[in-house]
Amino acid sequence: MLIRQRSSSEPLGSELTSETVYQQRRDLLKAAGLFGAAAFFSPRSYAVTPPYELVKERASAPKFLREKIMARRRSVNSTGEVVTPFDVVSTYNNFYEFGLDKADPAELAGSLRMEPWSVRVEGECAKPGNYTLEDILRPHVLEDRVYRFRCVEAWSMVVPWLGFSLADLIRRLEPSSKAKYIEFTTLNDPVQMPGQRHGGLSWPYVEALRMDEAMNPLVLMATGVYGRSLPPQNGAPLRLIVPWKYGFKSVKSIVHIRFTESQPRTTWAMTGPSEYGFFANVNPAVDHPRWTQRRERRLPGTIFNPNWRDTLPFNGYAHEVASLYRGMDLARYF
């Protein structure tokens, strides 16, 4: 008889939804086998209102990270919206490195080894090198930030992330005047990430921002969620959060940062250039070729109450970021 031993980094049973809920999720994947509109998601009923409930930290998290989280700067939910429950945020994910179904990351990401973890920094900067996760986090005070998070598939959440400003990290690395863009790359390891054993996307996953975008104070380098370290299915141990852009810009499990003079070739812009633009700003006036972006489903919802709402320009952050794109044709540069 074989007894499966759970990895220390694998999600606990309490972090997973039931089999019934899993069966209610389906992606209608088309074209390259990856594009599609998300099916309705019908979890159990929740009554969670701000302030949100924190989630107990895992004992397996590195000691230095637990200490950083304990000393974090608390903040209130400035969105004024109901926070999406942790059980939804941690089990309904796009993380194709672990599979195409929304349930796959929570089921399979326990194979991800988060210790040791390092990030290689290269390109147009004064301080390139290999940095451990502790090196990156040590100078920064972590803080809670509740952000709206919208997927190009027209579903959205309100999530309490935990991290620090990307701008602070950029200043530490001292980019040169030639650095016009910053590029991020996800771990490429098919042994740990079974989705990478198959075609569809060109691995590793690459995303990028213009430098003025990256320096905006809203952009977060996240290492936690709900007052605890990130679960592997949510992009542990280090991911990007850009709240006014579609979720595919928020690259997960980052292992490489590069400062460049020219615009990087990013994964989705290469895979589906007519569907996924480099800028990826939430724009309800520009539809995806196969579905509207004028509305979104706020999770959780049910088949009978899908919780549709109007999509806000720049995901509701226009006051903070619209000036970055003044004079640009946002239908052309989508």
> What is the pLDDT confidence band of residue 179, given thresholds at 50, 70 and 90?
very high
Beta bridge partners of 74: none
Provide the pLDDT for residue 59: 77
Evaluate whether residue 331 is within a structural domain: no
Mean pLDDT of the chain: 86
163 three-state secondary structure? strand
Q: Is 26 exposed, middle or buried (0-12, 13-18, 19+ CB in 10 A)?
A: middle
Closest by CA position to 318, among listed 270, 273, 291, 285? 285
Q: Is 235 exposed, middle or buried (0-12, 13-18, 19+ CB in 10 A)?
A: buried
Mean pLDDT in residue range 95-122: 95
Provide the pLDDT for residue 100: 93
> How many separate helices (H) and strands (E) can be counted in the chain?
9, 14
Domain that holds residue 142: 14-325
pLDDT at 47 over 50: no
Closest by CA position to 313, among listed 290, 291, 334, 289? 334
Mean pLDDT in residue range 286-293: 94
Provide the pLDDT for residue 49: 42
pLDDT at 102 over 60: yes
Q: Tokens 């990256």 belong to which residue? A: 214
AA identity, residue 323: S
pLDDT at 320 over 60: yes
AA identity, residue 75: S
Q: Tokens 């900067």 belong to which residue? A: 125
Evaluate whether residue 285 is within a structural domain: yes
Provide the pLDDT for residue 40: 35
- Identify the CATH number of the domain in which residue 112 sits: 3.90.420.10
Closest by CA position to 155, among listed 323, 318, 43, 30? 43
Evaluate whether residue 80 is within a structural domain: yes
Q: pTM for the complete prediction?
A: 0.85
Mean pLDDT in residue range 217-243: 97
| Strand pairing class (155-165; 143-150) | antiparallel
Q: Do 164 and 218 meet the contact criterion of CB atoms below 8 Å apart?
A: no
> What is the pLDDT confidence band of residue 51, given thresholds at 50, 70 and 90?
low
Evaluate whether residue 308 is within a structural domain: yes
List helix spans (H) across the chain. Answer: 19-23, 63-70, 86-89, 104-108, 133-137, 166-173, 211-214, 267-271, 318-321
pLDDT at 93 over 60: yes
Number of domains in the chain: 1
Evaluate whether residue 203 is within a structural domain: yes
Evaluate whether residue 7 is within a structural domain: no
Q: Which of 35-49, 55-69, 107-121, 261-275 has the lowest mean pLDDT?
A: 35-49
pLDDT at 285 over 50: yes
Evaluate whether residue 9 is within a structural domain: no
AA identity, residue 180: K
Mean pLDDT in residue range 102-123: 95
pLDDT per residue over 192-219, tens digit each?
A: 999 999 877 999 999 999 999 999 999 9
Mean pLDDT in residue range 278-285: 97
pLDDT at 251 over 70: yes
pLDDT at 184 over 90: yes
Provide the pLDDT for residue 37: 36
**What count of residues does the chain have?**
334
Evaluate whether residue 111 is within a structural domain: yes
Largest CA distance in the chain: 66
Neighbours of 115 (CB within 10 A): 13
Provide the pLDDT for residue 46: 30
> What is the pLDDT confidence band of residue 50, given thresholds at 50, 70 and 90?
low
Mean pLDDT in residue range 277-296: 96
Is the pLDDT higher at 27 or at 110?
Answer: 110
Q: 55 to each of 155, 244, 302, how far by Cα in Å?
A: 23, 26, 24
214-232 exposure pattern, b = at least 16 Cβ within 10 A, e = fewer: bbbebbbbbbbbbbbbbbb
Q: Do 93 and 106 meet the contact criterion of CB atoms below 8 Å apart?
A: yes
Is the pLDDT higher at 48 or at 68?
Answer: 68
pLDDT at 23 over 50: no
Mean pLDDT in residue range 231-243: 97
CB proximity list for 159: less than 8 A, separation 6 or greater: 83, 84, 89, 146, 147, 149, 225
Percent of the chain with pLDDT over 90: 76
Provide the pLDDT for residue 238: 98
Determine the Cα–Cα distance for residues 277 and 207; give it in Å rounded to an integer. 11
